[in-house]
Amino acid sequence: MRTTLRLGLLGVSAVALLVAAVSLGPTQLLDLPRLIELMRSGPATPELERARLVLWELRLPRVLLAAAAGINLALGGLLLQAIFRNPLAEPYLLGLSSGGALGAVLALAAGATVVTWPALAGSLLVASVVLLLCRKRIAADLPSLLLVGVALGALAQAFTTAIILRFDPGALRSILFWLMGSFAGRGWAEVWILVPAALLGVVLVFVIHRPLDLIALGGESAHHLGVRVRLLQTGGIALAAVLAAFTVAACGTIGFVGLMAPHMARRLAGAPHGASIPATALLGAMLTVGADLAARTVLAGTELPVGVITGAFGCVFFLALLAKRP
């Protein structure tokens, strides 16, 4: 019961943060009375039209996109941590995001405008290499798995850099900003891909919540308890890669959300995935929405890439986790 209560409170806070993120911004404050006024139909003044435009074309898609991205990355982290039995695993640190970014940049260089599928190919490629090395027991233990991810990520980033340097300066700047992770300038097109992906992700991950419990507690005993371990590993990692790729294609590489959200969720809702999955999704959304809110309000007149904010927080979190590890 206490867990249900906590999940409920978390849900309420998430909604509150979402409303706050929609309300606050440099262009125009949309406080609650104003939001309600916008919902009503009435005589349209130019000022009201402007506010409506800010709400529907800027704030709402941006906040929804941030929330969906947070959910996707957090679910990816949760899957990878359980399947690799590694509390430090997450899509960014394992190179899945960098693989996706490389795929997307390659497609951009080739003149493509839709980068979702190339990003997916890049993420899946890195995921299969990580899985293969893990199966071969090269990366079976905790530190070497991360090193493999770091190595693959560095390789992908090197290629990415080599490619984007060939773009002209104007394009280069916007690509760099996208690579660092940002929810600015995105619209409903991205929202319609990422929000369904996030909702589907939550459902799929929740369906396998008990197999995830079992595999997190040991591969051999998961087998003895009726889990099809290889299928779960392959499927789970593929799902994490898909979620990461969709997110990268829409809003660039955002690190550490996938690391932080599952840990905070387990603290709050307990270790069993039945409760920690909804908590992870809510916290993931809150982290990215909060980071995005900070990115566009901390420095007046300018905007930071959201990846810079999550990176700064995530780095401290990562070091704290390392220090706590027995």
**Binding residues vs other proteins (CB under 8 A):** 85, 87, 206-208, 210-211, 213-214, 216-218, 220-221, 223-228, 266, 270-272, 326
* CA-wise closest residue to 307 among 94, 61, 98: 98
Instruction: Give the nearer residue to other proteins in terms of CB position, either 201 or 305.
Output: 201
Instruction: Give the nearer residue to other proteins in terms of CB position, either 50 or 230.
Output: 230
Rounded Cα distance, 87 and 30, in Å:
40
Rounded Cα distance, 261 and 274, in Å:
15
Contact predicate 90/258, CB 8 Å: yes
Instruction: Give the nearer residue to other proteins in terms of CB position, either 34 or 85.
Output: 85
Rounded Cα distance, 182 and 2, in Å:
36
Instruction: Give the nearer residue to other proteins in terms of CB position, either 52 or 223.
Output: 223
End-to-end CA distance of the chain: 31
* Shortest reach from residue 179's CB to other proteins, in Å: 33
Contact predicate 74/91, CB 8 Å: no
By three-state DSSP, how is residue 201 classified?
helix
* Shortest reach from residue 114's CB to other proteins, in Å: 35
* Shortest reach from residue 269's CB to other proteins, in Å: 11
* Shortest reach from residue 78's CB to other proteins, in Å: 11
Instruction: Give the nearer residue to other proteins in terms of CB position, either 52 or 210.
Output: 210
Instruction: Give the nearer residue to other proteins in terms of CB position, either 59 or 263.
Output: 263
* Shortest reach from residue 286's CB to other proteins, in Å: 21
Indicate the angle between helix axes 273-297 and 60-83, nearest 10 degrees: 140
* Shortest reach from residue 267's CB to other proteins, in Å: 9
Contact predicate 97/227, CB 8 Å: no
Rounded Cα distance, 201 and 94, in Å:
19
* Shortest reach from residue 74's CB to other proteins, in Å: 16
Residue 272, φ and ψ in degrees, nearest 5: -55, 135
H-helix segments, 85-216: 96-109, 116-135, 142-164, 169-179, 188-207, 209-216
* CA-wise closest residue to 283 among 306, 256, 318, 246: 256
Instruction: Give the nearer residue to other proteins in terms of CB position, either 52 or 209.
Output: 209
Please enumerate in sequence order all residues whose Cβ is within 8 A of that of 282, keeping only pairs 6 or more positions apart, or say none.
7, 10, 11, 14, 265
Instruction: Give the nearer residue to other proteins in terms of CB position, either 83 or 249.
Output: 83
Contact predicate 256/90, CB 8 Å: yes
* Shortest reach from residue 139's CB to other proteins, in Å: 17
Instruction: Give the nearer residue to other proteins in terms of CB position, either 34 or 209.
Output: 209
* Shortest reach from residue 77's CB to other proteins, in Å: 13
Largest CA distance in the chain: 68
